[in-house]
Structure 1
Amino acid sequence: MSSTEDLTAEKVKEFARKKGADLVGIASIDRFEGAPPHLHPAKTLLPTAKSVVVVAKRIPRGCYRGNLEGTNFTTYAFYGYFFQQHRYYMIRLDYEVARFLESYGYEAVPTQGLGLHFRIAAFAAGLGQIGWHNVFITPQFGPRVRFGIIATEAELEPDPLFEGKLCDPEDCGYRCVYECPNGAVPKNRKKTVNVAGKTIEFSDLDLTRCVPDCIRLTEHSPFIRREMERSPSLKEHINALYRELAARPPSQLASSLAMRRPPPLQPQPSPREIIDSLVDCYRMMKRHLGGPAYVFRGATGCMEACIQYLEESGKVPRYVYPFRRREPWRL
């Protein structure tokens, strides 16, 4: 075991980068004062926590190409979300950073969604800004990032908070609002949260619209209706899934920022209004992923519109070729 006197914030960051992190930020535990109990790392993960290390890996921009061109829809699901966040890449990175911290004699708890909110932790660690669409935005990659969190007893030097303005709804014309196929991002309803002495605002996202659209179980799916028409029992299965979703408390919804009250017990709109069809590829993804296909075309609208705006405005580094190169693909 290494000497406890040798550990520094820079050593933690250097190690995380060597293990594949594109971004690393550190928040002191006092920055979470005022957070709801179920989102405070010292109340949910590690009572003796003094610091929270937030690591991030970029989503390759090419993962969105299939969505944009109407070709390979599963690339984003595999490499931008499911394997990236839940099955392999981030989990392994969190684990390695926790091992490194404990090699210096400080207990560390890695987590992938339970007991803390990724976006709030990333803001507290100085990595960027929560956008109006509830997606976290960094100055390096825009919304193309996934996060991991490690709470630790080590007292590490925190990073300064991000003071820039990446998300500017007035300037971009609320693109995330108007481009969301299922109307999940409201223009005139917002939530306010106090984090690290700062007041931040974002839309009051309608999860009963967002999540069904994220996995394309809506009338907007490019694989419309056939599977649902052939098998009415599947429709009831999906209806039950969203009744369960709408009844979950915010602490169980990794994508929820509704921290002060649970979602309504009845979906708004009702599941039958939301779920008008079942995509053909749902069964295929369920077979390959071993469970429900929790992201199919989730980047449509909010993330794609955000990437386009940030690159156009020069707020994030530009690529050689533009993100959108023709009219958006539609069936």
Structure 2
Amino acid sequence: MKLTSEMIKARAKELGIDDIGIGNIERFDLAPVLMSPKSYFPSAKSVIAIVMRIPRGTYRGIEEGTHWHNYTFYSYNKLNTLLRPRLTYELCRFIEDFGWEAVAHYPAVSERNPVSEPVAPNRLPPNIVPSIRLIAAGTGVGEIGYSKVFLNKKFGPRLRLGLILTDAELEPDPIMDTGSICSHCGACVRECPGDAIPSLKDKDTRISIDYGEKKVWYGDVKMGRCTLTHHGLNNEISPFLKKAFPNMAFDVRSSDMTEEEAYRLSYTVAGGKWSTTYYEDGDNAIVQYYNYIMKHTGYYAICGARGCIRACMDSLERSGRIENRFHNPFYRKKSWLLSNKSTPTEKHVNPFRDKFVEEKYPGLRENEYGYKDKVELSGNK
């Protein structure tokens, strides 16, 4: 029996995949060689993009400022590494039952490769990592929004993507024009706490992608600022960073750090420990919550996509530009932001130690530097 696009879409729906798009391989002829699906699978004839929705409720905890776990688990890491791949695997099995090879692709960061020498002369170095958003846009399952976040007609920005490359020649879906979903309203620009998304008025900051039959464009996001904010090195969105570094006022909004530098710094902080932090649990993690969630998932997300997803989805829902509707608006009150100003606790060398000693051993610090001033200020004379 011949395998068709309609058969694949029907099976995807049966499996619980939320949406799917199919593109012919020729659309990616102009892709950079280290990001090309043709470098990955030279015999590929078609590319299949898989969409799995992010439940809107997974943003509720961060929006309220009361719960962070759900976003990392259900919106990001486990949706990308467990929930969606399971269905991608099943769809690959379906395709291969018809005798066509199906290459599942994990959405890694393409800009960080290659990582080693070629395995043989005249071969490309590993790893070939296509840009999953650019490839997905070439399948017609959605468009790249102005903020670089992928948008789908059903769910807007609330989604994660997967890819399957196959040597089966399938009927392609049409590529969406820029602006089919994104209204370029500027909500993402205004609400991004890292000022990572350029002004809509600045046409020089647009990136254009050529699929041969159609060109699309989106904003050239400052990915260093985005990464610093996403991974919690922005005081404005992380109560955990403010607790660990109350005297630090690092201004992400004016940072020129690159994405790679931001990754190196944020993960060093998240996984870092110090000889003595004076935290009750005694694990000596520099930022307790980051270390905690990393242990559980190997990943951590703190911002909760304040501008690029939350503000965007609210705008698209209100304007009726996406299909998944809700009885109540997402925003029930004004979103919170923390101050980036330092909130000094003490002027001394180690305020963490001072607080620990005073609470555990009252009076033991008498005659230490600054102790008399502290007692007088507190009224405990």
| TM bracket, shorter-chain basis | 0.7 to 0.9
How far the C-alpha of 1:222 sits from its partner, in A, is 2.5
1:43 to 1:310, Cα distance in 2 relative to 1, 3 A: same
Counterpart-to-counterpart distance in 2, 1:196 and 1:316 = 27
Counterpart-to-counterpart distance in 1, 2:88 and 2:168 = 16
2:155 counterpart of 1:141: yes
Counterpart-to-counterpart distance in 2, 1:52 and 1:70 = 39
After superposition, give the CA deviation of every residue in 1:237-269 in whole Å (9 maximum; x if it has no partner). Answer: xxxxx98x745xxxxxxxxxxxxxxxxxx77xx
How far the C-alpha of 1:39 sits from its partner, in A, is 2.1
Contact 2:233–2:241 (Cα < 8 Å) also in 1: no
How far the C-alpha of 1:103 sits from its partner, in A, is 1.1
Counterpart-to-counterpart distance in 2, 1:196 and 1:110 = 24
2:48 counterpart of 1:53: yes
After superposition, give the CA deviation of every residue in 1:126-147 in whole Å (9 maximum; x if it has no partner). Answer: 1111111000111110000111
1:29 to 1:99, Cα distance in 2 relative to 1, 3 A: same
Contact 2:63–2:335 (Cα < 8 Å) also in 1: yes
Q: Secondary structure at the match of 1:88?
A: helix
Counterpart-to-counterpart distance in 1, 2:229 and 2:158 = 19
Counterpart-to-counterpart distance in 1, 2:314 and 2:211 = 28
Gaps of 5+ in 1: 236-241, 248-265
Contact 1:22–1:56 (Cα < 8 Å) also in 2: yes
* TM-score, normalised via structure 1 length: 0.80
For the aligned residue pairs, the C-alpha RMSD in angstroms reads 2.6
> Which protein has the larger Cα radius of gyration, Structure 1 or Structure 2?
2
Contact 1:32–1:195 (Cα < 8 Å) also in 2: yes
Which residue number corresponds to residue 181 of structure 1? 193
Say which of 284, 288, 298 aligns to 2:292.
284
* TM-score, normalised via structure 2 length: 0.70
- Residue identity in the other structure for 2:181: L
How far the C-alpha of 1:123 sits from its partner, in A, is 1.2
| Higher RCO (Cα < 8 Å, 6 or more apart) | 1
After superposition, give the CA deviation of every residue in 1:164-199 in whole Å (9 maximum; x if it has no partner). Answer: 622122xx2x12112110111111222111125222
Q: Secondary structure at the match of 2:216?
A: strand
Which residue number corresponds to residue 117 of structure 1? 131
Q: Secondary structure at the match of 1:192?
A: strand
Counterpart-to-counterpart distance in 2, 1:222 and 1:308 = 24
Contact 1:76–1:297 (Cα < 8 Å) also in 2: no
Counterpart-to-counterpart distance in 1, 2:59 and 2:304 = 10
Q: Percent identity?
A: 37
- Residue identity in the other structure for 1:304: R
Say which of 311, 320, 330 aligns to 1:305.
311
Moved over 4 A (4+): none
Gaps of 5+ in 2: 109-128, 251-255, 270-285, 339-381
- Residue identity in the other structure for 2:24: S
Q: How many residues are paired up?
A: 286
Which residue number corresponds to residue 202 of structure 1? 218
